[in-house]
Structure 1
Amino acid sequence: METLLANLAHGFYVALSFQNLLFALLGALIGTAIGVLPGIGPVATISLLLPITFGQPATTAIIMLAGIYYGAQYGGSTTAILLNLPGEVSSVVTTLEGYKMARNGRAGAALATSALGSFFAGSVSTLIVAASGPLLTSVALSFGPADYFSLMLLGLIISSVLAQGSVLKSVAMVVLGVLLGLVGTDVQTGQQRFTFGIAELSDGIGFVPVAMGVFGIAEIILNLERPEARDVLKTKVGSLWLTKEEWKRATPAVLRGTVVGSVLGILPGGGASLASFGSYMMERKMSKGRAQFGNGAIEGVAGPEAANNAAAQTSFIPLLTLGIPANAVMALMVGALIIQGIQPGPRMVEAQPDLFWGLICSMWLGNLMLLVINLPMIGMWVKLLAVPYRYLYPSILIFCAIGVYSLNNNVFDVYMTILFTLCGYMFNKLKMEPAPLLIGFVLGPMMEEHLRRAMLLSRGDPMIFLQRPISATMLAIAAIALGLMLMPNLRKGKEEAMAG
């Protein structure tokens, strides 16, 4: 306990430095803004902002990117409640009850519930990250190369199973991501792979062109295709204060949502959207006000909003302790760390204590900032919604092109970004979820490295993956997960859940 308190004290010392505090605030503000603006999610924004993190220390860069991620969970609820238009995927569920509350004249109460529930859940889940991080790290240090390979394979399969749409398409995206990650020069033999004689590919495909093209610019093009429908609520937001009855009903929903989000956030492929849906389904069955669902039940706002923020924080656990991204945003974080020359994994606690503990403590400060940013400034965020999207995208595109070019001062990176933009656009049209591709792209080279190490240690015997208990257990879980999701009844249930 004393060690944990000493580490947290060190973390607050790092997080409270002027530069880190400023970038935490910047991340929270950007996150709220992109959460409020429909169609621009945290994955697209973080991928677009990766180039500006290069000139910053690693800790500062990751603190800002993390602020964008959990800030978007806050901001998305504003549009969900006031416009019936989710600014973020995880806020889709909030529209179901939040907009009804707004139509009933309780928009202020819905927004306050969302902000307070998110703050509580974010604070509790950050404590879970702080407590479990060193514990899981010590466990991870006992993993061998075979265990790591199986763990990463499990992560890829679960991210495929939990992705939207067809499992077969998701698996295909993972395989494509892994293949893209293997392009370049083989470290052990010096042979070039999949470069097709193009000299610029000898160092591999850059992470930023892939992320920015598939998620960032492709998303902008898709948004331009969609008609802008912004039915801003004409009635006043009203009092932000909850009645005694609303407090009594919202509090247990927030507690349940925090638990659900904290657990589901850790799962590969889970994250905030899965947590908010899971919490909503739980509230419909367990809450005392379940009869009011569909007419503006406060539990339908409190639970999902707490769950999505808790999941946003706990999804950092596998990243910080094992070096494995739980979702597309965490894959971007891995990319940002690797660009900074840091290999995420169990040795991060010892090798990068400033980053590990500084990031955790910045989450508490960021959640406090978001509470202040969101409640008193609701009027400003509503005005931001009036800005037509056609005025926003030209400046975003110019910023992207400059950012990509400035990475290596190489126009080839811009061409690669254009190529992956076209790929991202096609993936969307073919209903192929791109998130598994990014996770495969990040984990592919790491998996290859651990596979080779395991095979060297076993002198070429593949049975090592079944002889080691940890590895065998993870492979069994992966096989069961894939097998269950291929069953027609479960697949149908998953499609209904994703649609819901």
Structure 2
Amino acid sequence: MLHEILSALQAVATWQNLLIMVAGIWGGVIVGAIPGMTGTMAVTLALPFTFYMDPVPSILLLVALYKGSTYGGSVSAILIKTPGTASAACTALDGYPLAQQGKAGKALNMALYSSVIGDFISNLSLIFLAAPLAILALRVGPPEYFMLMLFALTTVAGVSGNSLLLGAVSAAFGLLLATAGEDMYGSFRFAFTNDMQAGLSVAPVLIGLFALPELIKLVVFRAVRRDEAAKLGDQHVTRAEFMGSLKSILRGSAIGAVLGAIPGIGPSAAAFFSYGEAQRTSKNRDNFGKGEIEGIAASESANNGACGATMIPLLALGVPGDVITGVMLGAFMIQGLTPGPLLFQTNIHEVYMLFIGMMLSSVLLFGAGKITMRMFSYVAHIPQTLLTAAVLLLCLFGIYSISSSMFDVAILLIMGVVGFIMFLMNIPAAPFLIAFILGPMIEENLRRALAISRGDPSVLLSSPITWIFAVLIVFVVGLTVRREFHKFNTRKA
């Protein structure tokens, strides 16, 4: 075994492989930081270039793009409140307020540190826990998925701001729009046009909800002043700040590793789940959403923590963990590698090379993040009018480039107006986004569970895992109601 590992290390440690991984990480960070340019698109566009590459370097290129783009989404989320990826939406909740306080550099550094730690722990989980977590994933069926997603939906209470009622309204609106399109039985809902039959894509809804309202505010309120908060300002993360966030970083990394190993969940749900848990347990919970650095740590550690873990079901079972690993499955097949239990017997040398390359990519992510942070910090010095036009063009181009669909561009613009109206009415946008992302998974697994049980709802509490999540849901809802009553009595007094 030691001989195989040393041989794999020697095979990976070539300048060609290092150059490939550096290019992948760098390209991923840049793509992730551009609004609308998703990691899925980056990996898909890179796939044809892997046809004539050796198996492991080709997979490492795709993995590097995946990891880089996941972190890169935090750069624009913090600097201009425009999440480059869906999983960076949580980062924007506290990152942008920190930027407005003149601490953009501090927020970017915490995002980088958390991402690297989450990525490293995720890689360790892939190496040492692939088989146990794969077996656990096999035991998780539709009832367990439903209860897990329902528990994740309780995150809404933590990001509803001062009004839980408005947060619930926002979440209900998100769940409603999530039902648009074709359901699992072939029925269409809200399919007013042919384009609506496919439902609403996450990217235009996300970018429209978070980016365009900021641009509309600049135009409507004629904001002509330069916002000093846009500058990098304070960049140093103090030891006290890091140690105070370490618990959330480690918990977020663990959440990302576990949820990433379950097919179909991915970094976005992990980020929201981790953010909600950090908000519930932090002594600074009231500062979340107002510039709490621990919120950035929780979000970024979880979304990068899911990256390596999504490879667990792919390698161990041949089941993609998310859309990007679905693309990677095609890359494996093109290279003559068949993911699954036999992969560890027939291609163990390639598996070791992949593991070593993924560990090395964590180090490269840190270097690329530091360099790219300085490069993207110049966004802060662009005149506000020029920045507004540039962000709008990036949003329009990015959304159109994903599927060449004018319908998605229209959704982008409509959601921008909706987001601005929500701002005027003090309705928080985060609960909408959480519900919109989790809604399809909640519905699909509920209907599958009921189909399996022939309509018997008791199937939702048919295993120890479902009972654990049910108890957690009741506990969290109880705490939320108690906190709301306390706020009400405080105001009344």
State TM-score, norm by structure 1. Answer: 0.63
Cα offsets for 1:321-346 (capped at 9, x unmatched): 799xxxxxxxxx9676789999xxxx
Whole-Å separation in 1 of the counterparts to 2:356 and 2:35: 19
Task: Tell me: CA distance 1:142–1:51, structure 2 relative to 1, closer, same or farther (3 Å).
Answer: closer
Is structure 2 residue 19 aligned with structure 1 residue 21? no
Counterpart of 1:103? none
Q: Give 1:472 deviation, angstroms.
A: 2.5
Whole-Å separation in 2 of the counterparts to 1:236 and 1:460: 57
Counterpart of 1:161? 157
Q: Give 1:123 deviation, angstroms.
A: 6.3
Structure 2 counterpart of 1:460, one-letter code: G
Counterpart of 2:478? 483
Structure 2 counterpart of 1:443, one-letter code: L
Structure 2 counterpart of 1:260, one-letter code: S
Structure 1 counterpart of 2:148, one-letter code: L
Q: Give 1:122 deviation, angstroms.
A: 4.9
Whole-Å separation in 2 of the counterparts to 1:443 and 1:10: 43
For 2:149, which of 147, 152, 155 is the aligned residue? Answer: 152
Aligned length: 418
Is structure 2 residue 134 aligned with structure 1 residue 143? no
Q: After superposing the two structures, state which structure 1 stretch, 173-182 or 139-148, moved more.
A: 173-182
Matches within 5 A, 1:177-216: 177-188=174-185, 190-196=186-192, 198-216=193-211
Q: Give 1:263 deviation, angstroms.
A: 0.7
Whole-Å separation in 2 of the counterparts to 1:479 and 1:443: 19
Is structure 2 residue 45 aligned with structure 1 residue 55? yes
Is structure 2 residue 414 aligned with structure 1 residue 414? no
Structure 2 counterpart of 1:404, one-letter code: I
Q: Give 1:481 deviation, angstroms.
A: 0.8
Whole-Å separation in 2 of the counterparts to 1:470 and 1:364: 35
Q: After superposing the two structures, state which structure 1 stretch, 365-374 or 213-222, moved more.
A: 365-374
Task: Tell me: CA distance 1:477–1:365, structure 2 relative to 1, closer, same or farther (3 Å).
Answer: same
Matches within 5 A, 1:44-123: 45-49=34-38, 52-53=41-42, 54-57=44-47, 63-64=64-65, 66-71=67-72, 89-91=93-95, 121-122=117-118
- In 2, are the aligned partners of 1:178 and 1:444 still within 8 Å (CA)? yes
Whole-Å separation in 1 of the counterparts to 2:197 and 2:79: 46
Whole-Å separation in 1 of the counterparts to 2:165 and 2:311: 30
For 2:249, which of 234, 241, 261 is the aligned residue? Answer: 261
- In 2, are the aligned partners of 1:115 and 1:374 still within 8 Å (CA)? no
Q: Give 1:474 deviation, angstroms.
A: 1.1
Cα offsets for 1:185-211 (capped at 9, x unmatched): 3342x3321224x22212222333212
Counterpart of 1:400? 395
Whole-Å separation in 1 of the counterparts to 2:429 and 2:108: 34
- In 2, are the aligned partners of 1:213 and 1:420 still within 8 Å (CA)? yes
For 1:313, which of 304, 320, 339 is the aligned residue? Answer: 304
Q: Give 1:28 deviation, angstroms.
A: 3.4
Task: Tell me: CA distance 1:88–1:280, structure 2 relative to 1, closer, same or farther (3 Å).
Answer: farther
Whole-Å separation in 2 of the counterparts to 1:382 and 1:414: 28
Counterpart of 2:227? 229
Counterpart of 2:83? none
- In 2, are the aligned partners of 1:183 and 1:205 still within 8 Å (CA)? yes
Counterpart of 2:361? 365
Counterpart of 2:258? none
Q: Name the SS of the counterpart of 2:272 in structure 1.
A: coil
Q: Name the SS of the counterpart of 1:398 in structure 2.
A: helix
Structure 1 counterpart of 2:463, one-letter code: R
Q: Give 1:390 deviation, angstroms.
A: 2.0
Counterpart of 2:55? none
- In 1, are the aligned partners of 2:179 and 2:440 still within 8 Å (CA)? yes
Q: Name the SS of the counterpart of 2:427 in structure 1.
A: coil
Whole-Å separation in 2 of the counterparts to 1:411 and 1:89: 29
Task: Tell me: CA distance 1:116–1:64, structure 2 relative to 1, closer, same or farther (3 Å).
Answer: closer
Whole-Å separation in 2 of the counterparts to 1:19 and 1:320: 19
Whole-Å separation in 2 of the counterparts to 1:185 and 1:234: 45
Q: After superposing the two structures, state which structure 1 stretch, 222-231 or 174-183, moved more.
A: 222-231
Q: Name the SS of the counterpart of 2:457 in structure 1.
A: coil
Counterpart of 1:329? none
Whole-Å separation in 1 of the counterparts to 2:425 and 2:322: 27
State TM-score, norm by structure 2. Answer: 0.63
Q: Give 1:462 deviation, angstroms.
A: 0.9
Task: Tell me: CA distance 1:466–1:276, structure 2 relative to 1, closer, same or farther (3 Å).
Answer: closer
Whole-Å separation in 1 of the counterparts to 2:416 and 2:40: 17
Structure 2 counterpart of 1:202, one-letter code: Q
Whole-Å separation in 2 of the counterparts to 1:161 and 1:276: 10
Counterpart of 1:432? 427
Counterpart of 2:85? none
Structure 1 counterpart of 2:135, one-letter code: S
Q: Name the SS of the counterpart of 1:269 in structure 2.
A: helix
Q: Give 1:485 deviation, angstroms.
A: 0.8
Structure 1 counterpart of 2:382, one-letter code: V
Structure 2 counterpart of 1:467, one-letter code: S
Task: Tell me: CA distance 1:113–1:164, structure 2 relative to 1, closer, same or farther (3 Å).
Answer: same
Q: After superposing the two structures, state which structure 1 stretch, 129-138 or 265-274, moved more.
A: 265-274
Whole-Å separation in 1 of the counterparts to 2:136 and 2:363: 29
Q: Give 1:182 deviation, angstroms.
A: 1.8
- In 2, are the aligned partners of 1:121 and 1:306 still within 8 Å (CA)? no
Cα offsets for 1:8-50 (capped at 9, x unmatched): 979979994755531311333567xx6xxxxxxxxxx554546
Q: Give 1:483 deviation, angstroms.
A: 2.1
- In 2, are the aligned partners of 1:276 and 1:305 still within 8 Å (CA)? no
Q: Name the SS of the counterpart of 2:45 in structure 1.
A: coil
Cα offsets for 1:323-370 (capped at 9, x unmatched): 9xxxxxxxxx9676789999xxxxx98499999x96996575255443
Q: Name the SS of the counterpart of 2:407 in structure 1.
A: helix
Task: Tell me: CA distance 1:311–1:438, structure 2 relative to 1, closer, same or farther (3 Å).
Answer: same
Q: Give 1:128 deviation, angstroms.
A: 5.1
Whole-Å separation in 2 of the counterparts to 1:482 and 1:388: 45
Task: Tell me: CA distance 1:233–1:460, structure 2 relative to 1, closer, same or farther (3 Å).
Answer: closer
Whole-Å separation in 2 of the counterparts to 1:440 and 1:111: 26
Structure 2 counterpart of 1:143, one-letter code: V
Structure 1 counterpart of 2:46, one-letter code: Q
Instruction: Compute the RMSD of aligned alpha carbons.
Output: 5.5
Structure 2 counterpart of 1:148, one-letter code: Y
